[in-house]
Amino acid sequence: MSPPRPSPRPHPTINRVGPQPVLRRERRRSFWQRSLDEARRTGGWFRIPKLYTKKTAQQIASDVRCAHHRRPSVHRVRGFQVGEVWESKWRLTTACGAPGDCEVWVRFLGEKLSLAEAV
């Protein structure tokens, strides 16, 4: 007598009624886009939630302050809107982090008026 044969696996059936909705993942946003959005919402000084070396903090603060002078395609920091004016500062942190770590603070000042709008 031969051993019993395993029953064949049924093929999975897919019940589709009409087109299926396309599930889209929320668009990824960079750390800086999220941070600058939060700074816009707060309206005052906002501490960037990362610590940097002194030279990096100085460079980031400079980039943020001068962002309204540059085209968006050449920004090293993502998340600026055209014509936005920001103030920024950096300082050594004493609360947390390793000795020598620095904080970067930013504040949204508004949008730069173009000459066409002023006339």
Question: What's the gap between Cα 90 and its chain centre?
Answer: 19
28-62 pLDDT, tens digit each? 778 999 999 999 999 899 999 999 999 999 999 99
Between CA 98 and CA 116, with CA 67 as vertex, the angle to 5 degrees is 160
65-92 pLDDT, tens digit each? 988 888 777 777 778 888 889 999 999 9
- DSSP string covering 39-97, please? HHHH-S-EE-SS-B-HHHHHHHHHHHHTGGGS-GGG-SSS-PPTTEEEEEEEEE-SSSS
